[in-house]
């Protein structure tokens, strides 16, 4: 039976360019590049969305709202917008810098090329989320609560004490996600190294 399979494998049908192309495509998928390239562009896209989201919010929400507001609340919202803009730029930099780490995540020939990429994406997404919650939303909520009048604080559905919980929540998001991502990568590394040891025997 093995001899028959070897003859089939060596037949002209399997030496055809089409069959060679399919094999090359499968090798490309197995190498992990098939997954890293789209994720690389996903990092870029999310980073750009993070940077441009404050401008979308400005033109779609803030500016139309300014027509019905007195001067002081407008100033407050402009200050908040600059906080969101700074947060969006930092968020862009998080995704932009993390994307360069994707190429070194998976060595060539690794049996688990997707798991490290997924773990890295999950960690980066959680870092960005934790930063937005713990820093950007905290500062924006604090500025709004402190600078607006008492009659308009009802717009914010949380009190001052609850606002100071946001940095804690942001830290927990980053800490927990980092732990989970490390466990995922550790399991993939153990499985990969175990497979290599078995192959050597």
Q: How many beta carbons lie within 10 A of that of residue 34, not counting itself?
A: 15
Torsion angle in degrees (nearest 10) through CA of 190, 196, 199, 201: -80
Asked if 38 and 125 sit in the same domain, the reply is: yes
| Band (8; pLDDT cuts 50, 70, 90) | very low
Q: Please report the pLDDT score of residue 32 as a whole number.
A: 56
Q: Please report the pLDDT score of residue 126 as a whole number.
A: 95
What does the pLDDT look like over 44-93, one tens digit per residue?
999 999 999 999 998 888 878 777 778 887 888 899 999 999 999 999 99
Q: Please report the pLDDT score of residue 67 as a whole number.
A: 78
Asked if 59 and 142 sit in the same domain, the reply is: yes
Region 13-33: mean pLDDT is: 54
Asked if 17 and 96 sit in the same domain, the reply is: no
| Band (194; pLDDT cuts 50, 70, 90) | low
Q: Please report the pLDDT score of residue 174 as a whole number.
A: 95
Asked if 89 and 58 sit in the same domain, the reply is: yes
**Owning domain of residue 27:** 1-31
Is there a contact between 44 and 121 (Cβ–Cβ < 8 Å)? no
Residue that wins the pLDDT comparison between 130 and 22: 130
Asked if 88 and 7 sit in the same domain, the reply is: no
Mean pLDDT, the chain, rounded, equals 78
The total domain count for the chain is 2
| Band (25; pLDDT cuts 50, 70, 90) | low
Residue 2 has pLDDT above 60, yes or no: no
Q: Please report the pLDDT score of residue 3 as a whole number.
A: 52
Q: Which two tokens stand for residue 102?
A: 């994707």
Asked if 86 and 16 sit in the same domain, the reply is: no
Asked if 27 and 86 sit in the same domain, the reply is: no
User: Which pairs from 117-120 meet CB under 8 Å and 24+ separation?
Assistant: 117/32, 117/35, 117/36, 117/39, 118/184, 119/181, 119/182, 119/184, 119/185, 119/188, 120/181
From the number of C-beta atoms within 10 Å of its C-beta (0-12, 13-18, 19+), residue 10 rates as exposed
Asked if 21 and 74 sit in the same domain, the reply is: no
Asked if 15 and 111 sit in the same domain, the reply is: no
Asked if 20 and 87 sit in the same domain, the reply is: no
Asked if 83 and 146 sit in the same domain, the reply is: yes
Asked if 145 and 75 sit in the same domain, the reply is: yes
């Amino acid at each position: 039976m093995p001899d028959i399979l070897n003859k089939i494998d060596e037949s002209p049908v399997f030496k055809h360019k089409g069959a060679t192309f399919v094999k090359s495509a499968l090798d490309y998928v197995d190498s992990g590049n098939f997954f890293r390239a789209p994720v690389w562009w996903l990092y870029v896209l999310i980073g750009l969305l993070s940077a441009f989201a404050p401008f979308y919010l400005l033109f779609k929400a803030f500016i139309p709202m300014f027509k019905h507001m007195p001067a002081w609340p407008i100033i407050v919202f402009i200050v908040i917008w600059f906080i969101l803009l700074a947060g969006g730029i930092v968020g862009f930099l998080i995704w932009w810098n993390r994307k360069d780490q994707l190429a070194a995540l998976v060595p060539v020939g690794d049996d688990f090329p997707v798991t490290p990429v997924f773990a890295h994406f999950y960690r980066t997404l959680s870092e960005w989320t934790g930063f937005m919650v713990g820093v950007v939303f905290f500062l924006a909520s604090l500025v709004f609560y402190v600078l607006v009048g008492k009659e308009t604080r009802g717009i914010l559905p949380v009190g001052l004490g609850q606002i100071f919980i946001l940095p804690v929540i942001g830290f927990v998001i980053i800490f927990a996600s980092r732990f989970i991502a490390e466990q995922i990568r550790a399991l993939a590394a153990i499985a990969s190294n175990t497979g290599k040891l078995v192959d050597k025997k």
